[in-house]
Amino acid sequence: MADTLLEARGLTRRFGAALALDALDLAIRPGEFFALLGGSGSGKSTLLRLIAGLDAPDGGALFLDGRDITADPPWARPVHMMFQSYALFPHMSVAENVGYGLRRVGVARGEQARRIAEALALVKLDGLGARRPHHLSGGQRQRVALARSLVMRPRLLLLDEPLAALDAGLREQTGFELRALQRQTGAAFVMVTHDQEEALALADRIAVLEGGRLVQVGTPEEVYWRPATAFVARFLGAANIVEPATLPLKPQVAGAAAYALRPEYIRLTRIGGASDSDLRAIRPSDHRTLGHEETGPNRVMGVVREAAFRGDSTLFVVALEAGGALRVTVHADDPMPEMGERVALAWDPDDLAPLAA
């Protein structure tokens, strides 16, 4: 396929009895920012190492531009990996570190100097070429590691938890810089992360891994709003998992055993002492149930049990009269219920995302 840069077919890797990758299929497009998201032990690092050629699969194959590269050594692949530890050589200067790969493949000296300067400028480290890595901050060391990868002009750059070692302030800025670098260089970036917010913020597409299998691949919007399984729904921001047996649901797509319902999708209506201003904020469709206690499909009654302030919104846990609880977010501009207040919860049928078992 023309729009596929790297393809994995049936990729399998066993460690003794443990199946780290279970016949995994995956296609990465040229120039995309792709996130591999999964919990500890889901197979993320194993997949990255196989793509880089640092490890060999027990089954399946890898194709780059349609060519089988499964048996190619790492240096023969237009793929570069940036390790979480950065793996810089402490006895070499920044410029020597960045130029290491160029020297190994025998690029002429003048050309080396030009490309090292270009790579250092790309990561905004101009002028620091003579320094040793231990005279740099953690963020700067990461830039050296990035420059060392980018100087090789890879088609595909693999990044193992690139932001994990940075403090919170630097993480967001570095994330945006990674995106900018990816656009500037045109290389495809594959980033391993266990942080769903990072994946949602940066990636063009996200692959969610569970137990060595891909459970869903899609845009951040697709995996967030339309999770394929309960695992994905929970992993990406704690959606409510609701079942027709326990709640009066009338979903757009019938027949699923369970549905994901985002806390942001639920409308909360104050029933008890709703003030006039509260009433004006309530949608017309909610008026008929105000003061009444009727329920119906996609509408339930409950009592507010917990509240967590989140700045632009507050998350409420509402214990349902029919049993169970739902998590509901109320935007800061909307009327807030009190703790212990009775409320009505409602949602649109097409906001129920059907889940595979």
Ligand X SMILES: Nc1ncnc2c1ncn2[C@@H]1O[C@H](COP(=O)(O)OP(=O)(O)OP(=O)(O)O)[C@@H](O)[C@H]1O
Query: What residue ranges bind ligand X (CB under 6 A)?
Result: 15, 18, 20, 38, 40-46, 194
DSSP annotation string for 1-32: -TT-SEEEEEEEEEETTEEEEEEEEEEE-TT-
Q: How far is the CB of 10 from ligand X (least distance, A)?
A: 17
Between CA 46 and CA 269 the distance in angstroms is 48
In the chain, the N- to C-terminal Cα span, in Å, equals: 31
Of 48 and 266, nearer to ligand X (C-beta) is 48
Q: How far is the CB of 155 from ligand X (least distance, A)?
A: 23
Q: How far is the CB of 43 from ligand X (least distance, A)?
A: 4
Of 18 and 238, nearer to ligand X (C-beta) is 18
Q: What are phi and psi of 199, to 5 degrees?
A: -65, -45
Of 147 and 209, nearer to ligand X (C-beta) is 209
Of 46 and 97, nearer to ligand X (C-beta) is 46
Q: How far is the CB of 45 from ligand X (least distance, A)?
A: 3
Between CA 207 and CA 20 the distance in angstroms is 16
Q: How far is the CB of 52 from ligand X (least distance, A)?
A: 13
Q: How far is the CB of 160 from ligand X (least distance, A)?
A: 8
Structure tokens at 6: 């790297």
Q: How many CA atoms are closer than 13 Å to the CA of 347, on its beta-carbon side?
A: 27
Name, in order, each residue with C-beta under 8 angstroms of 176's C-beta and a sequence gap of 6 or more: none
Sheet holding 299-309, edge to edge: 267-270, 342-346, 299-309, 313-320, 325-331
Q: How far is the CB of 64 from ligand X (least distance, A)?
A: 21
Single-letter residue type at 110: G
Sheet holding 67-68, edge to edge: 18-28, 6-15, 59-64, 67-68
Of 51 and 102, nearer to ligand X (C-beta) is 51
Of 6 and 20, nearer to ligand X (C-beta) is 20
Structure tokens at 331: 């935007």
3-state class (DSSP) for residue 275 = coil
Of 46 and 269, nearer to ligand X (C-beta) is 46
